[in-house]
Amino acid sequence: MTTTPTRTPTRFVEVTLIVFGLYALAIGLFMLFAPGAFFDTLGNFGVRNDHYIFDNATFEIPQGLLLLAAVRRPSWRVPALAFATVHWALHSVSHIVDPHHGAGDWIGWLEAGGLVFTTAILAMALRASIIDAKARQA
């Protein structure tokens, strides 16, 4: 019996969608249900504002659901990953411009570095998804 091996780029894209989808969903739920704990641990920039934390949750939760849905819907992968890559890139810029975390600037720079790194992962998954989409059309 011959089986078709899973293509590594496709697996990388699927894992990226799952990891980032679960992360965005989890962080959004964290913001929604525990804004104080979110602010104290991750979002300690400036003065706490629960309204803005909730606003961000209403963005992160649907983004997470979109990324997770794209695992099952290959035609959604390019747009979902493009959206997430732009989001993470802009979020990276935000942290580079203002790294002044309440726990210290080194935490802010660590977060900025993590965001830049994860943006690169999303960009690689987006590229692989574009290549895969073109191959499916051929």
User: How many CB atoms lie under 10 A from the CB of residue 57?
Assistant: 19
Whether residue 77 is predicted with pLDDT greater than 70 in this model: the reply is: yes
Whether residue 2 is predicted with pLDDT greater than 80 in this model: the reply is: no
Span of 9-13, 20-24, 117-121 with lowest mean pLDDT: 9-13
User: How many CB atoms lie under 10 A from the CB of residue 83?
Assistant: 16
Say if residues 28 and 61 touch (Cβ distance below 8 Å). yes
- Looking at per-residue confidence, does 7 or 129 come out higher? 129
- How far, in Å, CA of 80 to CA of 17, rounded? 9
Beta-carbon contacts of 116 under 8 Å, excluding residues fewer than 6 positions away, are 92, 96
pTM of the predicted structure, to 2 decimals: 0.88
